[in-house]
Copies of this chain bind each other. A is one copy, B any other.
Amino acid sequence: MSSTTTTQTTGRARTWSVTEHLEDILGTVRALEPIELQLLDAQGCVLVEDITVSLSLPPFDNSSMDGYAVRTADVEGASEEFPAVLTVVGDAAAGQAEQYTVGAGEAVRIMTGAPLPPGAEAVVPVEWTDGGTGGGPAAGMNPHSAAPEGASGEVRVHRPAPARAHVRDKGSDVRPGDLALKAGTVLGPPQIALLAAIGRGTVRVHPRPRVVVISTGSELIQPDEVLAPGQIYDSNSFAMTAAARDAGAIAYRVGAVSDDAEELRSTIEDSLIRADLIITTGGVSVGAYDVVKEALAHVGDEDEPGSGVEFRTLAMQPGKPQGFGTIGSEHTPLLALPGNPVSSYVSFELFVRPAIRALAGLPDLHRPTVRAQLVLDKAVTSPAGRRQFLRARHNEGTATLVGGSGSHLIAALAHADALVVIPEDVTSVEPGAEVEVVLLG
């Protein structure tokens, strides 16, 4: 944490802006130590090394067509009326061990991708020949297994071919020493294809962050159980787990822990072994049962420099109470989010998602934002000095609010695809005003 974060967990602490809190988080969280992963396990990860090519691609001159490998002099002037008649000495198929040489007056029947045989200078596509049938132009070859005689006999070539026609040159794609991919590249399917093609079965990347999600609250029960009076269903642990995965993490849902500091403390300590980041929800406000605050004063090794979680009042709505810090000997970052489902979701988008992406070493930490015109029946108010985030639907340059501003309106959240940002110094927004919109994508 930055040296300015000296406020404590109780008392009239200063209020943090959204920007300050985010800067503190991103100033603390570092990209995870690189590890060597199998190619497909590295999908979506960020490369930490420049990848230099050590072979040529293609590794050898090869045919780009199914046809016949020939000497150009032998097919000079060939036509359908006056074909060049060549002796087929064998097949060149991709991956075949035997190799034939093309002498004067000879041809090798060759398949796409097969090495150009010694002596051959060009390939004529099978459609430019009689395919060895003695008839008219061929449409293709018969399967070798059914008609092995196609690899011998005579072929009539109907058109000439210049040198290197239908030949892919060795090294025309990449050559030894070429830079295939730069450190910092995100490995999507085409990048994985290139790595496989140049023979790299493993790569060094920042691994996907492992995120442990713990919701807190004695009132929480699991979906499909029967609600007793005063109970509600735990939704935050599901929402945060799904959102963490969506941000690129491997997420572990611990689920709901009751408002007992000792139980929470031990759950958090047990989670450290598998966590690159811990998220808690609930228990961060000013109440007498706000157990996350209570528990985190004693987690892990607080003598380690940089350890400790700080609880803050943020100048935002929803999401005013927030906790952030690092715990344990590994200084594992922990974000303690408020318990209202909408508050925790907005907090995730603003703070946790960028933290996960920073741990992954990804270049784009933030959701895209656009300007849009706010569609409203009447003006909406916003508290002075707090940045408000309203749930909205974005469509072609406009944003329409869904649901109200209550932080428990989870039904409305499920129909939103954007957050409308009302700055701290704005207390009322008129219909048609231009606003900043975060696209939740």
Contacts and interface: CB of A to CB of B under 8 A. Distances in A.
Contacts of A219: 94-95, 113-114
Contacts of A288: 66, 91, 93, 109, 111, 141-144, 147, 150-151
Nearest to A193: B239
Contact of A411 (B91, B94, B194, B259): B194
A274 interface: no
11 contacts: A43-B245, A57-B411, A93-B289, A114-B219, A144-B289, A172-B408, A189-B240, A192-B242, A193-B238, A194-B413, A199-B224
A243 to B, nearest CB: 4
A135 interface: no
Given A59-B227, A126-B286, A143-B261, A178 B411 contact: yes
A287 interface: yes
Interface stretch (A229-237, A326-334, A354-362, A421-429): A229-237
A145 interface: yes
Contact of A414 (B94, B191, B410): B191
B230 A416 contact: no
Contacts of A194: 235, 410-411, 413-414
A223 B200 contact: yes
A95 B230 contact: yes
Interface of A: 10-12, 39-40, 43, 55, 57-60, 64, 66, 91, 93-97, 99, 109, 111-115, 126-127, 139-147, 150-151, 168, 172-174, 178, 180-181, 188-202, 217-220, 222-225, 227, 229-243, 245-246, 253, 258-259, 261, 285-291, 293-294, 339-341, 345, 406-414, 416, 440
A341 B242 contact: no
Contacts of A235: 193-194, 196-197
Contacts of A196: 223, 233-235, 237-239
Contacts of A239: 189-190, 192-193, 196
Nearest to A416: B190
Contacts of A234: 196
B220 A200 contact: no
A126 B290 CA distance: 14
B40 A410 contact: no
B190 A233 contact: no
Contacts of A115: 229-230
